[in-house]
Amino acid sequence: MCGIAGLSAATPDILARLGDILAHRGPDGSGTLVCERTGFGLVHTRLAVIDLSEGGRQPMESPCGRWVIAFNGEIYNHAQLRAELEGRGHSFRSASDTEVLLALLAGEGEAALSRLVGMFAFALLDRHTGRVLLARDRVGIKPLVYGALPGGGLAFASEIAALKTVPGIDLDTDRRAMSEFLACLYVPAPRTIHAGIRKLPPGHVLRWSPGTAPVIECWWRPAFTGGRALSVDEATEELMPALRAAVRSCMVADVPVGCFLSGGIDSSVIAALMAEARGRNQVSSFTMTFDQAAYDERDAAKVVSAHVGTLHTELPASAGLVDGLDRMIAAFGEPFGNPTALLIGDLAASARRHVTVALVGDGGDEVFAGYPRYHGGLLAARWRRIPVFLRKGVIEPAVALLPESSSGNHSLRRIREFVAGAGLEDAEMYASWVEYFPPGERRALLGGGLPSRPIADLYRATGRTDPLDAMQETDLLSFLPGNLMAYGDAMSMMHALELRLPLLDHRLIELVQDLSAGLRFAAGKKTLLKSAARRLLPAAIVDRPKLGFNPPMGLWLKNELAAMVAERLVPERMAALGLDWPAVERLLAEHRAGRRDCSLAVWALLVLERWEATAA
């Protein structure tokens, strides 16, 4: 895991500055290279994980000198690929996965991407032609942003903060991106908050030649076609070896490897399979603990640890987590509104004292259909069969009177959201459930104009007729990379901890997405993963209700954040953001009166205010 950057017409000063900004991503070394022929420069900061020797230094040149790579990530099947290349007569100077990737790309070009198992973002420079290839892994685990420079130039980096220092990048605020942030609490790819910086979407490549506009193309995307109808037992028999292979692949490293363990299904299955591969008392697991019982999972984690045999450590959540808000925003380089990022940052900082790599369960909900909204999407057709007079005249007015909770219990809010959205067309329905500021509120806040509907657009673009297929595919293209992968990378790499995600192994995704929707939800949420888990874990863990890894936002707003809300969400600060104060005031009034739980919306406005105040 590393930091990478590069640009045309590079100078040593600019490359050094980029390296300094990305140093936290790679504290074990750094390097730069400028192509004498084209002037394109590359910079790399290294977190040594595979082959800790100098043989893994980057930027790395091919033996012939034509190709140069700057690579961030891990290729888990590098040993198999190395053996294959050696069989063809290729020789290697190191044990690095980077050298294997470079040799594969030099020999096969972009076709090599389909052979990679892992997570990655890289730049490949052709010194002969000056062309540059940027590529990002299938599901967007590793970030990559880029921007156009005057005269047809190009710059790229692992982080927005690095690109902001490159002369010629347009840093004007993208108002459409601000609207999409308010909708999603993150800025979906390809936009960033800056007009001149764009995210390379997951599963895409960017090709650039000197003096020309970049060409972007998709090389992989999820496709939930739901064609295979097996029994749950038959599907589980296929799933178990795929799960084992995914977990074991993620354990390949020359540094200490552990796992985050919450006691939920996803992380517990990973811990069990790690212990199965290494043996009892050979795997370190880590759980974040909270003083508030409603958010604490230490007891469940202890049960799992004792059952599978991990060396378990409890890591108490730090006091004053909200004090890290400005640092969190700096890590993203743009507004990011999921406060779970603060928890991940705190957990990563503590775990890094014990391990360099941690396996995590992110992706389990998207791949195995674990969100309550998936159930709602499947129930919507039944809801629409209820007579309109009964829905509109009786049920909807009654449900609108339900109180909301800011204590972490979202059941009543979900009922309200289901009833409000289930009568809409499927794409609009789904967008209404996952958006935080609906279009009307965004229009009021932004002073008119038509706010974009990124989630509804993605849902329609899937072309899926089955709601579960469409919902899962939409989430794998939006919420997963834009939210979960974004905070996982930014907050772990702040502390030079590498997170690995076995449940997002593309071989696993491709297996599951071909199974029928009826099978994937045969016994409700996470049917298949629970079936696999029953072969590894106690029934009490498998059947335990999902808690989720979220901070006590309602309590924060009443206590630690109360003064900040009063001081920062004021007319002059909202005007600086171009937000309409009466619209903000209405939202705050509804929240204070308890008519709506607007905790995350209020937090999002705080994030925007702090971003604007600290962006310079």
CA distances to 52, 206, 230, 324, 536 from 512, in Å:
36, 29, 11, 38, 19
Instruction: Please report, rounded to a whole number, the percentage of residues in the chain having pLDDT higher than 90.
Output: 85
Residue 389: what pLDDT? 85
Encoded tokens for 308: 């599978």
Classified as helix, coil or strand, 318 is coil
- 254-289: b (≥16 Cβ within 10 Å) or e: eeebbbbbbbbbbbbbbbbbbbbeeeeeebbbbbbe
Q: Name 301's Cβ contacts closer than 8 Å, sequence gap at least 6.
A: 261, 262, 263, 285, 287, 312, 314
Residue pair 195/173 in contact by the 8 Å Cβ criterion? yes
Residue for token pair 């890894």: 549
Classified as helix, coil or strand, 74 is strand
Residue 558: what pLDDT? 86
357-359 and 257-260 beta bridge pairing: parallel
User: What DSSP line would sit under 484-503, residue for residue?
Assistant: IIHHHHHHHHTTT-EEE-GG
Report which of 324, 308, 254, 282 is spatially closest to residue 97, judged by C-alpha positions. Answer: 254
CA distances to 8, 69, 79, 339, 575 from 356, in Å:
33, 24, 21, 24, 44
Q: Which domains does the chain have, with CATH numbers?
A: 2-218 (3.60.20.10), 232-366+475-542 (3.40.50.620), 552-616 (no CATH)
Residue 185: what pLDDT? 97
Residue 404: what pLDDT? 67
At residue 474, φ and ψ (nearest 5 deg) are: -60, -45
Residue 134's beta-bridge partner residues?
Answer: 123, 206
In angstroms, rounded to a whole number, what is the distance separating the alpha carbons of residues 101 and 112? Answer: 8
Report which of 43, 35, 39 is spatially closest to residue 16, judged by C-alpha positions. Answer: 43
In angstroms, rounded to a whole number, what is the distance separating the alpha carbons of residues 174 and 191? Answer: 8
Count, residues in the chain = 616
Residue pair 213/493 in contact by the 8 Å Cβ criterion? no
Q: Which helix (H) or strand (E) holds 7?
A: strand 2-7
Report which of 325, 203, 306, 207 is spatially closest to residue 538, judged by C-alpha positions. Answer: 306
Residue 556: what pLDDT? 87
Segments in the chain below pLDDT 50? none
At residue 615, φ and ψ (nearest 5 deg) are: -60, -35
Residue 406: what pLDDT? 55
Residue 405: what pLDDT? 60
In angstroms, rounded to a whole number, what is the distance separating the alpha carbons of residues 9 and 150? Answer: 11
In angstroms, rounded to a whole number, what is the distance separating the alpha carbons of residues 215 and 220? Answer: 16
Residue 615: what pLDDT? 83
CA distances to 331, 413, 552 from 183, in Å:
21, 17, 21
Instruction: Write down the pTM of the prediction.
Output: 0.95
- Give tens-digit pLDDT for 269-323: 999 999 999 999 999 999 999 988 888 899 999 999 999 999 999 999 998 899 9
In angstroms, rounded to a whole number, what is the distance separating the alpha carbons of residues 326 and 312? Answer: 32
The beta-strand segments (E) located in 270-310 are 284-289
Residue 205's beta-bridge partner residues?
Answer: 135, 217
Residue 448: what pLDDT? 78
CA 158 to chain centre: 14
In angstroms, rounded to a whole number, what is the distance separating the alpha carbons of residues 431 and 436? Answer: 10
Report which of 237, 272, 501 is spatially closest to residue 367, judged by C-alpha positions. Answer: 501
Classified as helix, coil or strand, 594 is coil
The side-by-side arrangement of strands in the sheet containing 2-7 is: 30-34, 41-46, 2-7, 153-157, 145-149, 198-199
In angstroms, rounded to a whole number, what is the distance separating the alpha carbons of residues 591 and 601? Answer: 9
